[in-house]
Amino acid sequence: MAATVFYCDHIPEPGQIAVLDGPEGRHAATVRRTRVGELITLSDGAGLLAPSEVVAAQKDRLELRVLDRQPATAPAPAVTVVQALPKSDRSELAVELMTEAGADVIVPWQASRCVSNWEAKAGKGVEKWRAAARGAARQSRRAWIPEVTGLHRTADLLDLVRTVKADNGIVAALHESGTSRFTELPFARADRIVLIVGPEGGLADAELDALRDAGADIVLLGPTVLRTSTAAAVALGALGALTPRW
């Protein structure tokens, strides 16, 4: 597979011409200065990879001959990260890090102690996170762009926890008050995993109680307290070693 990955909504059959335009085409042609004859990999962001050769280049558009199409193997178990909204200067960093570390679904959560408040601008915030996830997926050469859901309130989160637990999944809320260790959970036997990361101010006692009652495990990730913007990436790295994902 060629090293550079760009995302294209429609990837035709091998031998046909694919067009990379819009922001993705502009980035490839202008920022990366991709030229005729170079090989790149196209992806639809949903698991399809297509090594392709550039046959024409303009300032905001590339035309490529598709050489092959290969479906990638989805990592398992699937991992959803519920991320309490970080401060604005770390918000997109958190998304970038968890995307590079392998998150499959990202859920923004308006926890009670979040400094940021998206109640009046949820749509704009979600779009920024989706753009950050797309860019980080390209950087890390992922075949899948993580799904970024709409903003969740605590009631929505509790519904998600109950649904995952009913399907025999694992929900791990990362918190320093956890009496069991993250590594003790049976992740390798789960079909679905949800990681919950609190805000800078920590999870409120009421939230911890509600999550525990809904079936979440309150667990200690490691010996130090991590920033909310980095905790998910650290947990995802540990999951890579604890499950068949790596």
Cβ–Cβ < 8 Å for 234, 225:
no
Q: What CA–CA distances, in Å, run from 235 to 95, 156, 206, 243? A: 14, 23, 24, 12
Domains and CATH numbers, the chain: 5-71 (2.40.240.20), 78-242 (3.40.1280.10)
Q: How far apart, in whole angstroms, are the C-alpha atoms of residue 83 and residue 110?
A: 9
Phi first, then psi, for residue 104 (nearest 5°) are -95, -35
Note the helical H segments in 22-170: 22-26, 88-100, 122-139, 154-166
User: What single DSSP character describes residue 185?
Assistant: S
Per-residue model confidence (pLDDT) at position 3: 64
Check whether the bond before 77 is cis (ω within 30° of 0).
yes
Which residues are bridge partners to 19 per DSSP?
A: 63
Question: Cβ(7)–Cβ(45) under 8 Å?
Answer: yes
Residues of the chain with pLDDT under 50: 1
pLDDT of residue 233: 97
The tokens of 246 are what?
A: 């790596």
Q: What residues contact 11, with CB distance under 8 A and at least 6 apart?
A: 18, 42, 43, 44, 48, 50, 66, 69
pLDDT given for residue 4 in this prediction: 81
